[in-house]
A and B are shown apart, each in its own frame.
Chain A
Amino acid sequence: MKLTLKAALALGATAIAGAASAECGIEAGSVRILSNDFEALRYINDTAMECASDAVTVEANATSEHKNIQGPALSIDPAEYTVAVIANNSIVPLLNDDLIRPLDDLIAEYGDQLLPNQVISTGGEAMAIAFMGNGQHLFYRSDILEEAGVEVPTTYEEMLSAAEAIQEAGLMEHPLAASVKPGWDLAAEFVNLYLGTGGEFFEPGSAALAIDNEDGRLVLETMRAMTEYMDPDYLTFDANVINQLWDAGQVAMMNQWGSLAGAAIGDAADPDVAANTAFATTPSIGGNAIPAAALWWDGFSIAKNISDEDAAASFQAMMHGISPEAVAENPTVATWLVDGYQPGEAAVGVIANANAGARAYPMTPYMGLLHTALSTELADFIAGREDADQALADVKAAYDDAASAAGFLQ
Chain B
Amino acid sequence: MPHKTFALFIMPAVVAMLLFIALPIVSVVVQSLFVEHEQVMVEVENCGPFGCSTQLRVDTEATAEIRDERPLGRFAGITNYINRNHLAFDQVREIWSTSDGLGEIWSRMMNLPFYKALAFTLVYCFLVTPFAMMLGFAIALGVNTLPRLAKGPAIFVSILPMIITPLIGSLILFWMFNPQGILGASLQVITGDPTLSLRASPVLTWIVLIIYGIWTNGPFSFVVFYAGLQTVPGDTLESAMIDGASRWERVRYVIIPHLAPLATFVALVQLMDNFRVFEPIVGFSAEANATSLSWLVYNDLIGQDSQQFGSAAATSVMTILGVVILLIPVLIRTWRDFNRKAV
Q: Do A and B bind each other?
A: yes
Contact in complex: A92, B39 (CB < 8 Å): no
- CB distance B47 to A181 under 8 Å? no
Given A121-B47, A183-B287, A236-B199, A369 and B303 touching (CB < 8 A)? no
**Which B residues lie at the A interface, using CB under 8 A?**
35-39, 41-51, 53, 55-58, 60-61, 64, 73-74, 76, 79-80, 83-85, 91, 111, 113, 178-180, 195, 197, 199-200, 202, 284-289, 291, 299-308, 310-311
A118 to B179 Cα, complex, angstroms? 45
- Tell me the bound Cα distance from A68 to B159 in angstroms: 34
In angstroms, Cα B53 to Cα A120, docked, is 12
What is the bound-complex CA distance between A192 and B234, given in angstroms? 70
Give residues of chain A (351-410) contacting chain B, Cβ–Cβ below 8 Å.
354, 358-360, 362-369, 371-372, 375-377, 379-380, 382-383, 386, 390, 394, 397-398, 401-402, 404-408, 410
Alpha-carbon gap, A376 to B295, bound state (A): 11
A residues within 8 A CB of B202?
383
A-B residue pairs in contact (CB < 8 Å), sample of 10: A68-B307, A95-B58, A95-B60, A122-B45, A124-B44, A130-B48, A365-B56, A368-B306, A376-B291, A386-B111
How many angstroms between the C-alpha atoms of A354 and B49 in the bound complex? 9
- B199-A98 in contact (CB<8A): no
Bound complex: CA of A97 vs CA of B57, how far in Å? 11
A283 contacts the other chain (Cβ, under 8 Å)? Answer: no
Of B91, B286, B299, which is within 8 A of A372 by CB?
B299
Chain A residues whose CB sits within 8 angstroms of the CB of B57 once the complex forms: 95, 122-123, 365
Kindly identify which residue among A98, A354, A358, A380 contacts B111, using a CB–CB cutoff of 8 Å: A380
A170: Cβ under 8 A from any B Cβ: no
Given contacts A121-B47, A379-B287, 16 further A-B contacts (CB under 8 A): A90-B305, A93-B306, A93-B307, A96-B39, A124-B44, A124-B45, A183-B287, A205-B43, A205-B56, A232-B197, A362-B55, A372-B304, A372-B308, A375-B303, A405-B36, A405-B76
Taking the nearest CB of chain B, how far is it from the CB of A280, in angstroms?
A: 18
Of the residues A354, A368, A405, A406, contact of B304 by C-beta under 8 Å: A368
Give the complex CA separation of A192 and B299 in angstroms: 21
State which of B39, B50, B285, B304 has its C-beta within 8 Å of the C-beta of A360.
B50
Whether the pair B308, A402 counts as a contact (CB closer than 8 A) is yes
Contact B306 A92 (CB under 8 A): yes
Out of A88, A376, A382, name the residue touching B113 (CB < 8 Å): A376
Min distance, Cβ B53 to any Cβ of chain A, angstroms: 8
A313 within 8 A of B: no
Given contacts A369-B306, A372-B306, A405-B35, contact A360 B288 (CB under 8 A): no
Which B residues are CB-close (under 8 A) to A35? Answer: none
Q: Do A71 and B84 have beta carbons less than 8 Å apart?
A: no
A381 to chain B, nearest CB (A): 10
Q: Mark A120-155, 1 if CB is under 8 A from B, else 0.
A: 111110000010010000000000000000000000
Measured in the bound complex, the distance between the Cα atoms of B287 and A372 in whole Å is 13
Residues in chain B near residue A118, CB distance under 8 A:
49
A117 to chain B: which residues have CB within 8 Å? 48-49
Contact A406-B43, Cβ < 8 Å, known A96-B58, A295-B50, A358-B50: no
B291 — nearest CB in chain A belongs to which residue? A376
A166 at the interface (CB under 8 A from B): no
Q: Is A233 an interface residue (CB 8 A)?
A: yes
Q: Which residues of A contact B (CB under 8 A)?
A: 65, 67-68, 71, 88-90, 92-93, 95-98, 117-124, 130, 133, 181-184, 205-207, 232-233, 235-236, 238, 241, 248, 295, 297, 337, 354, 358-360, 362-369, 371-372, 375-377, 379-380, 382-383, 386, 390, 394, 397-398, 401-402, 404-408, 410
Check if B44 sits within 8 Å of A122, measured CB to CB: yes
B44 near A123 (CB under 8 angstroms)? yes
- Whether B48 contacts A123 by the Cβ 8 Å rule is no
Question: Which residue in B56, B79, B299, B307 is a CB contact (below 8 Å) of A376?
Answer: B299
Q: From known contacts A97-B60, A372-B308, A405-B83, infer whether A184 and B303 are also in contact, taking CB-CB under 8 Å.
A: yes
Q: Smallest CB-CB separation from A93: which chain B residue?
A: B306
Whether A233 and B199, one on each chain, are in contact in the complex, defined by CB atoms closer than 8 angstroms, is yes
Give the complex CA separation of A371 and B301 in angstroms: 13
A372–B304 Cα distance when bound, in Å, is 6
How far apart are the CA atoms of A401 and B76 in the complex, in Å?
13
For B35, what are the chain A residues with a Cβ–Cβ distance below 8 Å? 404-407
- Bound-complex Cα distance A120 to B79 (A): 37
Whether A406 and B55, one on each chain, are in contact in the complex, defined by CB atoms closer than 8 angstroms, is: no
Determine how close the nearest CB of chain B comes to the CB of A236; give it in whole angstroms: 4
Q: Which chain A positions have C-beta within 8 A of B305?
A: 67, 89-90, 92-93, 367-368, 371-372
Known: A205-B56, A358-B50, A402-B311. A123 touches B42 (CB 8 A): yes
Residues of A contacting B200 in the complex (Cβ-Cβ under 8 angstroms): 232-233, 235
Contact indicator B46/A182 (Cβ below 8 Å): no
Residues of A close to B179: CB separation below 8 A: 233
- Chain A residues within an 8 Å CB radius of B310: 405
- Do the beta carbons of B195 and A232 come within 8 Å of each other? yes
Residue of A nearest to B198 (CB): A233
Contacting residues, chain B, for A372 (C-beta < 8 A): 299-300, 304-306, 308
Write out the residue numbers on chain B whose beta carbons fall within 8 Å of the beta carbon of A362.
53, 55
The 5 closest A-B pairs by CB, nearest first: A368-B306, A123-B44, A98-B60, A368-B305, A235-B288
The one of B39, B44, B199, B286 in contact with A406, judged by C-beta atoms closer than 8 angstroms, is: B39
Q: State which of B46, B80, B285, B291 has its C-beta within 8 Å of the C-beta of A122.
A: B46
Residues of A within 8 A of B47 (CB): 119-122
